[in-house]
Chain A
Amino acid sequence: GNSVTQMEGPVTLSEEAFLTINCTYTATGYPSLFWYVQYPGEGLQLLLKATKADDKGSNKGFEATYRKETTSFHLEKGSVQVSDSAVYFCALKGAGQAGTALIFGKGTTLSVSS
């Protein structure tokens, strides 16, 4: 079945450092891929998405490129801020009507210090 694997955290960085959080997936067909962010005590917010191969999703300085050949959707940011401290979830939505529920990875905790 469909699944998502994320790098284990926590990831601890200093402000202005470069961030990469790895995400790989297993799915049949062409799923849509997402990154969600969860701040302490809150629900999930969509950060960015990509719906087909080679698409690049971007938002708030974060980027991720849908790589079909490596089944990956790694999250990157050139210069992190303290306010980026949160848990980041990679997710996929399978292709077709039957695949409308999101499947999430286990999450990666990011902690940024000043």
Chain B
Amino acid sequence: EAEVAQSPRYKITEKSQAVAFWCDPISGHATLYWYRQILGQGPELLVQFQDESVVDDSQLPKDRFSAERLKGVDSTLKIQPAELGDSAMYLCASSLSQGTGYTFGSGTRLTVV
């Protein structure tokens, strides 16, 4: 069964350092989403891509977060500088097109110390 791959699985970083997460969606999936899930809460959308274009980044804290999907395939989410409040699970999901079902990756658990 096809999966959404994410790495690393776990990441511990110090406050003010830079950190990056990688996501490889299911082959052929045009739409890619990054969500942040704070412990004890539901996931919240950070950014949505359609191919290489950003469709929605209204909830992305752009002063420190950036996301790219240069060739419309895999994607990188970066935080610089990291803050204590960024500790969370970062989930990537993909879908064949807008409006179809999602598949989620296993996530990257970030701890900022």
- Please report A residues at the B interface, Cβ cutoff 8 Å: 4, 36, 41-46, 49, 89, 91, 93, 97, 100-107
Contact = CB atoms under 8 A, between A and B. Distances in A.
A111 to B, nearest CB: 15
B72 interface: no
B27 interface: no
Interface in B63-113: 91, 93, 95, 98-99, 101-102, 104-107
Interface of B: 4, 31, 33, 40-45, 48, 55-56, 91, 93, 95, 98-99, 101-102, 104-107
Contacts of B42: 4, 89, 91, 104-107
A43 B107 contact: yes
A42 B48 contact: no
